[in-house]
C-alpha cells in the first residue's frame, strides 16, 4: 500500500480483485478514471490472484494516478476478507462497491454526489443497473423501486451501484465471514437497519459484466450464496424482532419470508355480497359461501370473525349455508341501500370486532395454506399500513400483483402473466412495497382504517381502493404486496365492470395525476411503453 493520500476524498471505491481477465480489469479501472467527478480514491485489493499480471497492471495504474491504491494480500482470503481490507484502508466519507470486472458510467459518482448533497443525513445510496455483454453492448436494465425494505428481505435488489457511509459500515462490523456470496446483501441489511436516510437514484449508473460463470448470466452460478442469503435474511428478521422464517424462494437469489401471526389477534373478514351464484370451472356455486369456506379452510388462525354485509335480495339458502360454514364466527349485517362497495365495507368494519380487518370480495377463493397469516402478520410492523394478496383468474393467470400508478392512470402490472412466472426481476414471487393493492383482498389494522376514514363512499364502484391506498401512503405507512398469500379472484362475476370518467376525476382531485410509480416503474410494469418511447422519431415522419 502506498501512503500518498492528500486529504479525505468523498468516495472510496473498494474493489476486491481475484484473477479477472486483464483486459476486463483495465476497462473497470478506466471507467473509474473516466469519472467526471474527481474526488475519489480507488482501493483495489488483490486477493492473491494466480495471474501475476493482475497486480502488475493495477500497480501500473497506481503509479500513474495517485488516487489508485493497490493492496496485495499474501493469501487468498475470499471476497469478504479482501473487501474488508479495502474497507479498513478507505478514508473517504462514502464507500462505493465495485466488482473487478464491472463498469461505472462516466457520471456515476457525480450523480450519487448530487443525491447525497440534497440531504445531510444520507447513509446509503443505490442506483439502477444493467448488464454489459462480452461485445460491450448493454442490456437488461433493472429500473429499481424506491427504498423497499420488504423487498430487500426477498432479494438483494439494491445491489449495484451501492454507496454506503463509511462510518456506518464500520459501525455495523463491515462484511461478515461466513456470508460469502451474499456478503453484500448481509451488509446492506445491517446498514439499512440503522441508516437515517436511504436514497435511490433512478438512473442506470453501473454496468454489471455478464460473462460465463458470473451471477449476472446465471443466478445459480454461486449455489453457496443461497445458504448465506437465507441466513442473512433470517438474522435480519431476528434483529428486528419479526416473528418469521426465511427460506429459499421461487428461484435462486429470491427468499421467502413466512411470518407467524400472533394467535391472540382477532381477525375480521369483511365480505360484501348479494349472495349471487356463478359457474366456476363448470360448476355452479354460491360465490360467497365458497369464499368463506376456502378462507377458513386454508388458515390455521383460530380467532377469525366473518362479517358478511348482505343486500336484501341475498337468498335465505345462501345465508343458511354461511351459518353452516362459519358457525358462531359469522356476523350477518343486512344492507338495504343502493349498491356502494365502499359503504358496505365501512358498515361491515363498523360491525366487526377484530383489531385486524381483511376486506374480501365474495368472488374469491383462497388457494395457499396460511394465506390469512401471511396477509395479516406484516401489520404487526408499525409502519405497515396495508397489505394485499396475489390474485389469479380462474385460468391461473395473474389478476393482481399490486397496483402501479403512472402515465395518468391506475394500473395492474403483470396482469395475465402465468402463475409459474416470477416477473421481470422477481416482482411476482417476492413480497414488496407497492403504491397500492386491490381491495378484493387486503388487510389493515383497525386503528389505521378509522384514522384515514375508511373507504370513501363518494366512490361507490371503482377506484375506492386506489383512494384508500393514497390515504394510507399519505399517513407515511407502507403498503405491501404479499406474494405468498394467494387466492383466485373470479373478477366481475358479480358486477359489470364499467369505469366512469367522474370516478377517475374524483381521485385526481384529491391526489393529482400520477406520473411515475415509485415502486413499479413504468419501464418494468409496461415495457412495451418504453419500447414505443425509444422508437426513432423518423419512424413517424
Partner 1 sequence: MTQDATDRSETDRLREEVAEARHHLLTVQDHIVGLEAENGRLNRDLTRVTMELRQQIKRSRRMTQQRDEARARLAELRSRLAVARARLAEVEQPRASVARRVARRVRGALR
417 binds partner 1 (CB under 8 A): no
Which stretch in 111-119, 209-217, 450-458, 476-484 sits in contact with partner 1 by CB under 8 A?
450-458
Measured in whole angstroms, the distance separating CA 502 from the mean position of its chain's CA atoms is 32
- Is 232 or 443 the residue whose CB approaches partner 1 more closely? 443
Closest CA to 486 of 412, 402, 394, 391: 391
3-state secondary structure 32-73: HHCCCCCCEEEEEEECCCCCCHHHHHHHHHHHHCCCEEEEEC
Q: Which stretch binds partner 1 (CB under 8 A): 214-222, 285-293, 342-350, 518-526?
A: 342-350
Q: Minimum distance between the CB of residue 332 and partner 1, rounded to whole angstroms?
A: 13
Residue 525 CB: number of other CB atoms within 10 A? 25
Q: Which of 12, 435, 456, 484 binds partner 1 (CB under 8 A)?
A: 456
Binding mask 91-130 for partner 1 (x = CB under 8 A): ----------------------------------------
Stretch that binds partner 1, among 92-100, 174-182, 437-445, 446-454 (CB under 8 A): 446-454
Among 26, 197, 266, 351, binds partner 1 (CB under 8 A): 351
Q: How far is the CB of 514 from partner 1 (least distance, A)?
A: 12
Residue 364 CB, nearest approach to partner 1 (Å): 24
How many residues appear in the chain? 541
Residue 371 in contact with partner 1, rule: CB under 8 A: no
User: What nine digits make up the cell of 345?
Assistant: 365495507
Q: Please, what is the minimum distance in Å from the beta carbon of residue 295 to partner 1?
A: 23
Least distance CB 453 / partner 1 (angstroms): 3
For partner 1, which residue of 10, 259, 310, 471 counts as binding (CB under 8 A)?
471
Contact region with partner 1 (CB under 8 A), list: 84-92, 197-205, 347-355, 476-484: 347-355
CB-CB contact of 190 with 236 (8 Å)? yes
Rounded distance between C-alpha atoms, residue 322 and residue 445, angstroms? 25
Distance CA 513, CA 497 (A): 22
Phi, then psi, of 477 in degrees rounded to 5:
-95, 155
By the rule CB under 8 A, 454 interacts with partner 1: yes
What are 269's strand-pairing partners?
306, 358
If DSSP codes are grouped into helix, strand and coil, which group holds residue 163? strand
Helix or strand (DSSP H, E) at 442: strand 441-445
In angstroms, the CA 131 to CA 176 distance is: 27
**Quick one: angle between helices 287-297 and 316-326, nearest 10?**
0
* 432 vs 471, beta carbon nearer partner 1: 471
- Burial group, residue 500, by CB count within 10 angstroms (0-12, 13-18, 19+): exposed
Q: Among 474, 499, 505, 529, which residue interacts with partner 1 (rule: CB under 8 A)?
A: 474
Retrieve residue 451's grid coordinates: 384514522
Residue 144 and residue 200 in contact, taking contact as beta carbons nearer than 8 Å: yes
**Binding letters toward partner 1, positions 503-522, x by CB under 8 A:** ------xxxx----------
Question: Any idea which residue has 415522419 for its cell?
Answer: 541
Determine if 450 is a binding residue for partner 1 (CB under 8 A).
Answer: yes
Residue 347 binds partner 1 (CB under 8 A):
yes
> Could you tell me which stretch among 80-88, 188-196, 247-255, 467-475 binds partner 1 (CB under 8 A)?
467-475
405 touches partner 1 by CB under 8 A: no
CB 344 → partner 1: shortest distance, Å? 11
Contact 17, 49 (CB under 8 A): yes
**Whole-angstrom Cα distance, residue 479 to residue 414?**
18
In angstroms, the CA 391 to CA 398 distance is 6
- Count of residues interacting with partner 1 (CB under 8 A): 21
The single residue among 452, 518, 525, 526 that binds partner 1, judged by CB under 8 A, is: 452
User: Interface with partner 1 includes 408 (CB under 8 A)?
Assistant: no
453 binds partner 1 (CB under 8 A): yes
Q: Which of 340, 346, 387, 399 binds partner 1 (CB under 8 A)?
A: 346
Would you say 355 and 330 are in contact if contact means Cβ atoms under 8 Å apart?
A: no
Task: Compare residues 278 and 458 and give the one whose CB is closer to partner 1.
Answer: 458
393 binds partner 1 (CB under 8 A): no
By C-alpha distance, which of 402, 398, 403, 380 is closest to 389? 402
Q: List residues near partner 1 by CB under 8 A.
A: 346-347, 349-351, 450-458, 470-471, 474, 509-512
Amino acid at each position: 500500500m502506498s501512503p500518498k493520500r492528500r486529504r479525505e476524498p468523498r468516495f472510496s471505491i473498494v474493489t476486491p480483485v481475484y484473477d479477472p481477465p486483464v483486459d476486463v480489469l483495465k476497462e473497470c479501472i478506466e471507467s473509474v478514471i473516466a469519472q467526471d467527478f474527481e474526488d475519489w480514491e480507488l482501493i483495489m485489493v488483490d486477493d492473491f490472484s494466480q495471474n501475476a499480471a493482475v497486480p502488475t497492471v493495477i500497480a501500473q495504474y497506481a503509479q500513474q494516478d495517485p488516487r489508485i491504491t493497490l493492496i496485495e494480500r499474501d493469501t487468498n482470503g475470499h471476497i469478504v476478507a479482501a473487501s474488508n481490507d479495502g474497507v479498513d484502508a478507505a478514508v473517504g466519507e462514502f464507500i462505493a462497491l465495485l466488482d473487478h470486472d464491472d463498469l461505472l458510467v462516466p457520471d456515476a459518482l457525480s450523480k450519487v454526489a448530487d443525491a447525497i448533497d440534497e440531504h445531510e443525513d444520507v447513509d446509503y445510496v443505490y442506483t439502477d443497473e444493467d448488464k454489459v455483454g462480452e461485445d460491450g453492448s448493454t442490456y437488461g436494465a433493472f429500473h429499481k423501486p424506491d427504498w423497499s425494505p420488504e423487498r430487500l428481505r426477498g432479494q438483494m435488489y439494491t445491489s449495484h451501484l451501492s454507496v454506503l457511509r463509511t462510518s456506518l459500515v464500520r459501525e455495523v462490523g463491515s462484511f461478515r465471514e461466513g456470508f460469502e456470496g451474499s456478503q453484500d446483501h448481509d451488509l446492506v441489511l445491517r446498514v439499512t437497519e440503522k441508516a437515517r436516510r436511504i436514497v435511490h437514484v433512478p438512473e442506470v449508473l453501473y454496468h454489471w459484466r455478464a460473462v460465463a460463470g458470473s451471477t449476472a448470466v446465471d443466478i445459480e452460478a454461486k449455489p453457496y450464496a443461497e445458504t448465506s442469503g437465507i441466513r442473512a435474511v433470517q438474522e435480519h428478521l431476528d434483529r428486528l424482532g419479526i416473528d418469521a422464517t426465511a427460506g429459499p424462494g421461487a428461484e435462486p437469489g429470491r427468499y421467502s419470508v413466512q411470518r407467524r401471526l400472533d394467535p391472540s389477534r382477532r381477525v375480521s373478514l369483511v365480505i360484501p355480497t348479494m349472495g349471487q351464484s356463478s359457474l366456476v370451472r363448470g360448476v355452479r356455486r354460491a360465490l360467497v359461501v365458497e369464499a368463506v369456506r376456502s378462507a377458513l379452510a386454508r388458515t390455521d388462525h383460530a380467532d377469525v370473525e366473518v362479517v358478511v354485509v348482505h343486500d336484501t335480495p341475498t337468498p335465505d339458502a345462501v345465508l343458511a349455508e354461511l351459518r353452516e360454514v362459519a358457525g358462531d364466527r359469522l356476523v350477518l349485517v343486512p344492507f338495504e341501500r343502493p349498491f356502494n362497495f365502499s359503504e358496505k365495507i365501512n358498515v361491515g368494519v363498523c360491525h366487526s370486532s377484530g383489531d385486524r380487518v381483511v376486506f374480501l370480495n365474495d368472488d374469491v377463493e383462497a388457494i395457499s395454506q396460511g394465506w390469512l397469516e401471511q396477509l395479516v402478520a406484516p401489520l404487526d410492523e408499525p409502519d405497515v399500513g396495508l397489505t394485499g394478496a396475489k390474485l389469479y383468474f380462474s385460468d391461473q393467470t395473474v389478476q393482481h400483483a399490486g397496483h402501479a400508478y403512472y402515465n395518468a392512470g391506475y394500473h395492474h402490472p403483470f396482469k395475465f402473466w402465468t402463475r409459474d412466472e416470477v416477473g421481470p426481476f422477481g416482482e411476482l414471487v417476492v413480497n414488496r412495497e407497492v403504491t397500492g393493492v386491490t381491495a378484493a383482498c387486503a388487510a389493515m389494522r383497525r386503528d389505521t382504517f378509522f384514522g384515514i376514514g375508511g373507504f370513501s363512499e363518494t366512490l361507490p364502484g371503482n377506484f375506492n381502493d386506489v383512494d384508500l391506498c393514497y390515504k394510507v401512503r399519505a399517513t407515511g405507512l407502507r403498503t405491501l404486496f404479499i406474494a405468498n398469500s394467494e387466492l383466485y379472484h373470479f373478477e366481475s362475476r358479480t358486477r359489470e365492470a364499467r369505469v366512469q370518467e367522474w370516478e377517475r376525476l374524483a381521485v385526481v382531485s384529491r391526489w393529482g395525476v400520477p406520473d411515475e410509480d415509485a415502486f413499479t416503474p413504468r419501464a418494468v410494469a409496461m415495457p412495451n411503453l418504453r419500447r414505443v418511447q425509444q422508437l426513432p422519431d423518423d419512424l413517424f415522419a
